[in-house]
Structure 1
Amino acid sequence: MKLLKLAAIPLLVTFMMREAQPCMAQEKLSVEEIKAITEEAFIYSFPMVMGYGILYEYAVDVKSGQYKAAFNQIYNTARVYTPEDTAVVTPNSDTPYSFVWADLRTEPLVLSVPEVQKDRYYSVMLADMYTCNYGYIGSRATGNGAGTYMISGPGWNGPTPEGIKKVFQCETEFSLVLYRTQLFGPDDINNVKQIQAGYKVQTLSSYLNKSTPAAAPEIQWPAIDKKLAEADPFAYLNFILQFCPTTGTAEVERPLRAKFAKIGIEAGKPFPLARLTAEQKEALKAGVLSGLAKIKQKVSTLGKDENGWRVGGAQGDRAFYNADWTLRAAAAMAGIYGNDEVEALYPLLSTDSEGNKPDCSSKRYTLTFSKGQLPPTNAFWSVTMYDGKTQLLIANPLNRYLINTPMLPDLKRNADGSLTIYIQKDSPGKDKESNWIPAPDGPIYVAMRLYWPKEEALNGSWKPPALVPTK
């Protein structure tokens, strides 16, 4: 989704934790060992706790202001995202979203998609509670024809029902199903609504017209508060891990969980914070801070530096991450629930052409694509502006947050056929406003998106142009 960042991290414990004898005291761990395990656990937990925050606001807390729908029910956002959407950072404003938070504890979920016109891009991304992308439906992955698919939880091993094209097995008991449907422009929204109306979601028992299985146990969901200044994510992690069994492909988690148990991280148990000594608490704090520093450092080096943009894939499945928890955490910090590289490539602006962090409080910039050098895609591309402090969309007089492929007919080309985009806080003049992306009065965060990128974008033959300061 390129969907939380620094202002929203870490998510904090807001529920009372029962007292427990700390495992680290039993193990007689040294301060250095506590710090090292804490650092690794914090990095590991970062995207999972962030993802839980989104789950809680979207599917649990009906008063969150970001609530979408109950579990196993689809919610269609029949508009693109605006500055009012604050639950996730770097949301795209190209494709209206549809969401399902799937509860797979008792039975699989069946997803049906309609036929979508050939020139319209759409995708359905399946992400587990580890924030790994474990499957895709849509233009690139399965085509634009109608079809019915199924996602199952880690404990399901039944036969594939008739009419199901493919079964996707999720390693965790809850899953995000994230739909993106291309919008060609404001006048196209009714067509998008019609497509969204064709996205059907039902439980397997409903699909088979059979009796519903016994309901899973009710869950006491711990509340999320993202405004507190100090963090302790491990109580959240213990809560989340009870829905992440170490079975099947997740068996590789077992040695890591055993290591984390030494400091009190165990699925479904309270984290023993109240019984720790002052020295142990200091070691925990130091581990969290060093872990956060490593994640931030990783974000700054994601992908390759190409003309001041960081270009490269940071999201994928378990095999893609290959136990690189820092990469997984950095991907979440840069923009949680992003696509695999083959689905969407995300060049992220790091510096301008002079090597400086871009800031529109005192500078204006241009981004010029040479003739024939627009981002190469099988679907479409966009350049989106965010506040550099929050990574949220920016309110502006034009209500314009990006420039993308569908807008090309309305953009002005230079005499040599190149295309210049103006990035600044004030209007560049009425004659140039068609090519203007309004910026905040301060640091900026710019994300380029190439949906279904062509090979020249993936292999580095094409490179994004540099952001150039102007007088």
Structure 2
Amino acid sequence: MQRRQFLLAASSSSALGALPAFAAAPTLRAAARDAWLYGLPLIEMAGARAETLKATAPNTLRRGRELTTLAAQFVTTPNNDTLYARAWVDLAEGPVTVTLPASGTRYLSVALMDMYSNNFAVLGTRTTGPDGGVFTLVGPGDRAAAGPSVVRSPTRWVWLLARTLVDGAPDLAAANAVQDALHLRGPACPVPAASAGRNAPWAEYFAAVHALMRENPPPATDLAWLRAFAPLGLLPPGPFDPSRFTADEAAQIEAGVADAKGGLRSARAGRVADGWSYPKATLGAFGQDYVYRAQVAVGGLAALPPEEAMYLRAVTPQGSPLFDGAVGHRLHFPAGSLPPVDSFWSLTMYEATPEGQFFFTPNPIDRYAIGDRTPGLVRGADGSLDVWLTREDPGEGRRANWLPAPAAKRFSVILRAYLPQPELLTGAYRMPALRPITAG
């Protein structure tokens, strides 16, 4: 199976199940459902923007000096492999300059996301090379000269999220030195007002979506979907007026929002093979895959495209990403069958929130991930590798390869493979399934 065939198969395996196609019936209920899904990435991005701008100004880079830990999580499904540096860039007042350091063999990526959560560019190891460079980020209406160092954003606001690989605690100082050479320079801009969250009442939610679309107009290629919002009167430039709806119409809107939330939780995202859900081809650059985009906004905001990183989520035989933490599990890699990557791989443990988000879980050894750079891993005599996912210490012979599970909650695990090799992208490589640990 060729890469395009595999990824297209992954794309076609997901649908919103019980929700009808948006174009079938542009009723008020359907309009509310579709508009809620469409606007969710804007809401989640605005929430991330507000959180960052509590401590810094727009067009200012904020560098994390330590790996993300339980106390320092700021986005769902964080990793414990790279240092983060982040900034919210406002291009309303003119271009912003991004300077990438020379990173050599160290993995570095600088993801640039528009307000609809699409990675419109990823600078760094894979794309611009190990030698760094200076790039000019311009807004959608800027008339700056084109060229290989000019990056045009589809929206006024941009989330810049840089990842710098750390190869264990002894490497932290060197990684910080690379990160210190990452610079961002641009004009001073005011901090925008905070926006409503995903659980706000429908009138507040849609007013926030309307304001965010005015600030960051959607692309023309979304027009077919946007026309389904007509009964809501949501589209810019006209004002959104929730007071014009009768009580019966408001109930229809509430029902549509409930449809969207219920369908979002039940929908499958990606192709499942051998107990793992593989990302869709549209991950991180979603195009018109609005349902998947909404799912990722809640469960994996800021995910990179597959060419940059593959995110594989383990699933139960019933297809759920949530495992019973009371049951121990084993992940067995036969000799010579570790994930094929050109950078690194890691397996991260999360506890799940009721809203479908995932965060590090407290544990007695402060280990949140295990991977190809974890010191002290013990291999079998045949070269195989076992990872033990349990609540309790698995014992002397297994402790070095222990990935602790949540003490009480259900867990989810994600395999990250940075700079995946072709066999992982095409589907020729398959991860082994998690197996319950049986007594004896």
TM-score clears 0.5: yes
Matching of residues 348-427 of structure 1 within 5 Å: 348-351=313-316, 358-389=322-353, 390-407=357-374, 409-427=375-393
Equivalent AA in structure 1 for residue 156 of structure 2: E
User: What does the per-residue CA deviation read over 1:271-308, in whole Å, with 9 as the maximum and x for residues that have no partner?
Assistant: 4234422111111111111112222233xx22211211
SS at the partner of 1:451? strand
Matching of residues 48-447 of structure 1 within 5 Å: 48-59=42-53, 62=54, 67=55, 69-118=56-105, 120-160=106-146, 165-203=148-186, 221-224=193-196, 232-245=204-217, 250-267=219-236, 271-298=240-267, 301-313=268-280, 315-316=282-283, 321-351=286-316, 358-389=322-353, 390-407=357-374, 409-440=375-406, 441-447=408-414
How far apart are the structure 2 equivalents of 1:86 and 1:199?
22
How far apart are the structure 2 equivalents of 1:34 and 1:283?
6
How far apart are the structure 2 equivalents of 1:139 and 1:158?
26
Equivalent AA in structure 1 for residue 229 of structure 2: F
Q: Tell me how far 1:321 sits from its aligned partner.
A: 3.0
Q: Tell me how far 1:424 sits from its aligned partner.
A: 0.8
The structure-2 alpha-carbon separation of the partners of 1:322 and 1:432, relative to structure 1 and needing over 3 Å to count, comes to same
Q: Tell me how far 1:245 sits from its aligned partner.
A: 2.7
Q: Considering only aligned residues, what root-mean-square deviation do their CA atoms show, in Å?
A: 2.4
Equivalent AA in structure 1 for residue 51 of structure 2: E
How far apart are the structure 2 equivalents of 1:110 and 1:193?
21
SS at the partner of 1:428? coil
The structure-2 alpha-carbon separation of the partners of 1:32 and 1:269, relative to structure 1 and needing over 3 Å to count, comes to closer
How far apart are the structure 2 equivalents of 1:186 and 1:219?
35
SS at the partner of 1:328? helix
User: Is 2:334–2:383's contact at 8 Å kept on the other side of the alignment?
Assistant: yes
Tell me, which stretches of 5 or more residues in structure 2 are unaligned? 1-24
How far apart are the structure 1 equivalents of 2:35 and 2:197?
21
TM-score (norm 2): 0.87
Provide the identity percentage.
Answer: 29
Equivalent AA in structure 1 for residue 334 of structure 2: S
Q: Tell me how far 1:252 sits from its aligned partner.
A: 2.6
User: Is 1:305–1:311's contact at 8 Å kept on the other side of the alignment?
Assistant: yes
Counterpart of 1:453? Answer: 420
Equivalent AA in structure 2 for residue 238 of structure 1: H
SS at the partner of 1:135? strand
The structure-2 alpha-carbon separation of the partners of 1:227 and 1:323, relative to structure 1 and needing over 3 Å to count, comes to closer
User: Is 1:240–1:268's contact at 8 Å kept on the other side of the alignment?
Assistant: no
The structure-2 alpha-carbon separation of the partners of 1:385 and 1:274, relative to structure 1 and needing over 3 Å to count, comes to same
User: Is 2:40–2:198's contact at 8 Å kept on the other side of the alignment?
Assistant: no
How far apart are the structure 1 equivalents of 2:423 and 2:255?
44
User: Is 2:31–2:230's contact at 8 Å kept on the other side of the alignment?
Assistant: no
Tell me, which stretches of 5 or more residues in structure 1 are unaligned? 1-30, 204-211
Q: Tell me how far 1:80 sits from its aligned partner.
A: 1.4
User: Is 1:133–1:315's contact at 8 Å kept on the other side of the alignment?
Assistant: no
Equivalent AA in structure 1 for residue 242 of structure 2: L
The structure-2 alpha-carbon separation of the partners of 1:155 and 1:200, relative to structure 1 and needing over 3 Å to count, comes to same
The structure-2 alpha-carbon separation of the partners of 1:229 and 1:466, relative to structure 1 and needing over 3 Å to count, comes to farther
The structure-2 alpha-carbon separation of the partners of 1:461 and 1:129, relative to structure 1 and needing over 3 Å to count, comes to same
The structure-2 alpha-carbon separation of the partners of 1:219 and 1:385, relative to structure 1 and needing over 3 Å to count, comes to closer
